[in-house]
Chain A
Amino acid sequence: MHALIQAIILGILTGGVYALMASGQTLIFGIMKVVNLAQGALVVLGAYLTYTLFTQLGIDPFLSVLITTPLLFLVGVAVQWALLRPLHSDDVGQLSLLVTFAVALGVEGVLSFAYGTTLTNIQPSYANTSWTILGYQVSLVRFVAFVLSLVMLGLLYLILQRTKFGRSVRATVQNPMSAQLLGVNAQRVSAIGFGLGTATAAAAGSVFGMLNSFNPGSHYDLISRLLTIVVLGGLGSIGGSVIAALVMGVASSVVSALASPIWSDFSFFIVLLLVLLLRPRGLFGARTRGAL
């Protein structure tokens, strides 16, 4: 019982971090119908930026989010403007796969060149600190990361629900043609939306770098996880991806601790398969896609 509860605690905390990465991914799909294969690479880029700020300037990895988030927002806007905008709208779904994969490979290449391929990790003084609560261990980094994810998701929610830009985004998601007819600048919404999606990778990256050793090739594992989370949650649904990330976190952690780590990812895919058989659009795909 103790092991089960410990595993659930771990799973929820880990799931929170994946929720943050996946929310950016699903936002981009919701707005542009682009499956962003570069999201994992951008998380790794975020981790390296945090690493540099921490080791060179001594900036705390959590505080550095204030610097890396705008930076990755700009990277996202630039990628959208330079590489995705010129694609013909009929082919955007397929071509964007190639383009974003190329971005992922490009980011990986630049990082390999700049940092080498050896595994790195961000090690602030509190990296291994954990609290004992009722006999269970709660890691400080995981807990703060979880809270940070909630804060970022909350900000994202506020932007989408309470701002004029958010309204434009939601309108574009529901019906791009009508939104354009009503004066929504689709290009601008796409660029900023893509930027917001990639900006979530900054906070996710700093946390990812503290929890795991990483190198420029780490994005392959990440992107496969993110894609399954996003599909389980329902493409385009932020709430869905948060729940899916928590499901994945808890399922992997519990199976890993109580059965075998070999089955841990597999168990998640079984959940994914079952959900897709019953609800082909994912947990929240059909119902809330318009509402975001």
Chain B
Amino acid sequence: MQLQNPAPRLRRRVLAAIAATALAALALAGCTTGSGTGPSSTSPLTIGISLSLTGDFSDSGKAAQRGYQLWADVTNKAGGVLGRKVQLTIVDDASSPDQVVTNYTNLITQKKVDIVFGPFSSLLTVPASRVVNRYGYSFIEPAGGGPSVFAQKLGNLFFVQPAPTTEGGNVFADYILSLPKNERPATAGYAKLDDPFAAPIAENIQKRFEAAGIKTVYDQTYPAETADMTPIMSGMAAANPDVVVGGSQEADAFAQMKAMIQLKFNPKWLFESNGANSPADFPAAVGAANTEGVFSSADWYADSTVAGSAKFISDYTAKFGGTAQTIDPTSAEAYSAGMLLEQVAKKTGKVDNATIIKTLHSGTWPTLVGNLSWDQYGAPKGAYLLVQWINGKLTTVYPAATAAASPVAPKPNWAG
């Protein structure tokens, strides 16, 4: 009998431990997902966001802040989300991947916000999304679209742009390959910035061009610190391709084009993955007359014809001043994050994290950046718009269904 004695004691202990763990888990669950997210609650809906208000990404961080704030204001004016006023808690992460972790942990465990939205850039979204995932929150994020974000295979993440960043140029390939064979370019040149958000965009285009028989006559990758693009572009000019594809960020895209202007090299088609889609910075950097005919891709821009865009612009300029052309697309992307939340609430009558995650995984969702839907890890399944500078304005030219004008080719000569 003695032998049997320890067993019940052990069982009691195990039971006690299980009970304690369960209690603790319940308490934790109460702290996190269960805090006042019920539909009947009239307490404010608190949303926590960490943004880069200082440091390297501060301009973009502030643009995201304006988008979030505008959405909250507009929504509150219209009565809030399910009758609950939206209350944003925005904290600064100084563009630091360490601080962003601290911030989201604090927002969730200390401030006990109901919902969190994403920070700026993939660099910060990756560490932030891990924290957010750990606490079972949904993570609607407007600015982390790099491969590293989706490689984490998180089921709670939703990137609020039409496609993963590296697929930004696919729409240009779609357009070129939609041309009849005798009108297509025969040769292509590629200048790629060695950066996870730039070179892969051009590489994806290159794969499709080469498969379709468009010969690569120049292909160069340059490091991020390359300030002077003239030597590279003089090599490009010597190879004289019909189409030039720049897998670029902003500064190097401008430098590429300035170099082409100075070298008097004008390709028939010119696509820059970034920079050329900036309505204010691009004309300022290369001269307004030199923008004519340059292609880029975009999700939202001032002349976007997407439903709700005109209202967004008028609300934005009323609140922050400026003109439609000076609105950073990041503001529209952040605003769209709020739109998604609102639509989930309207559809389900609930705004808890589990409902958001479950609901967004099916159907398509209209936003300022297009109709969004995601794969299981939050990578959007749509495509960017192909935009071109026509008569001094960014204009959607492809796909035809959303185009405001037909693409102009060959590209008009540089104004100099």
Q: Which positions in A face B, CB cutoff 8 Å?
A: 2-3, 6-7, 10-11, 14, 112, 116-121, 123, 125, 127-130, 132, 137, 139, 211-213, 217, 221, 252-254, 256-258, 260-262, 264-265
B121 → A minimal CB distance (Å): 12
* Closest A residue, CB atoms, query B222: A261
CA distance A211 to B221 in the complex (A): 21
User: With a CB–CB cut-off of 8 A, which chain B residues contact A116?
Assistant: 58-59
* Closest A residue, CB atoms, query B95: A117
A164 → B minimal CB distance (Å): 39
Can you report 24 residue pairs joining A to B where beta carbons are below 8 Å apart? A3-B234, A10-B228, A14-B228, A112-B54, A117-B55, A118-B59, A119-B251, A119-B254, A120-B284, A121-B285, A123-B284, A128-B262, A128-B414, A128-B416, A137-B234, A139-B262, A212-B251, A212-B255, A221-B225, A252-B231, A257-B231, A257-B232, A257-B235, A261-B226
Across the interface, do A137 and B235 meet the contact criterion of CB distance under 8 Å? no
User: With a CB–CB cut-off of 8 A, which chain A residues contact B261?
Assistant: 128, 130
User: With a CB–CB cut-off of 8 A, which chain B residues contact A7?
Assistant: 231, 234
Across the interface, do A265 and B287 meet the contact criterion of CB distance under 8 Å? no
Across the interface, do B258 and A128 meet the contact criterion of CB distance under 8 Å? yes
B263's partner among A123, A130, A217, A256 (CB-CB below 8 A) is A130
* Closest B residue, CB atoms, query A3: B238
Across the interface, do A261 and B231 meet the contact criterion of CB distance under 8 Å? yes
Across the interface, do A262 and B223 meet the contact criterion of CB distance under 8 Å? yes
User: With a CB–CB cut-off of 8 A, which chain B residues contact A11?
Assistant: 231
Mark contacts of B81-105 with chain A using CB atoms, 8 A cut-off: 1 yes-contact digit, 0 otherwise.
Answer: 0000000000000000000000000
The total of chain B residues at the interface (CB under 8 A) is 38
Chain A CB within 8 A of B264 CB: yes
Across the interface, do B235 and A212 meet the contact criterion of CB distance under 8 Å? no
A211's partner among B225, B228, B235, B414 (CB-CB below 8 A) is B228
B288 → A minimal CB distance (Å): 9
Across the interface, do B234 and A118 meet the contact criterion of CB distance under 8 Å? no
User: With a CB–CB cut-off of 8 A, which chain A residues contact B225?
Assistant: 221, 265
CA distance A257 to B259 in the complex (A): 13
CA distance A176 to B39 in the complex (A): 80
| 8 nearest A-B pairs in the assembled complex, by CB-CB distance | A261-B222, A256-B231, A257-B231, A213-B251, A128-B261, A130-B262, A139-B262, A118-B59
Chain A CB within 8 A of B57 CB: yes
User: With a CB–CB cut-off of 8 A, which chain A residues contact B194?
Assistant: 262
CA distance A260 to B194 in the complex (A): 12
* Closest A residue, CB atoms, query B252: A213
- From A11, A14, A117, A264, residue with most partner B Cβ within 10 Å: A117
Across the interface, do A261 and B285 meet the contact criterion of CB distance under 8 Å? no
Across the interface, do A10 and B234 meet the contact criterion of CB distance under 8 Å? yes
Chain A CB within 8 A of B227 CB: yes
A128's partner among B59, B281, B286 (CB-CB below 8 A) is B286
A209 → B minimal CB distance (Å): 11
A61 → B minimal CB distance (Å): 14
User: With a CB–CB cut-off of 8 A, which chain A residues contact B254?
Assistant: 119, 121, 213
Chain A CB within 8 A of B342 CB: no
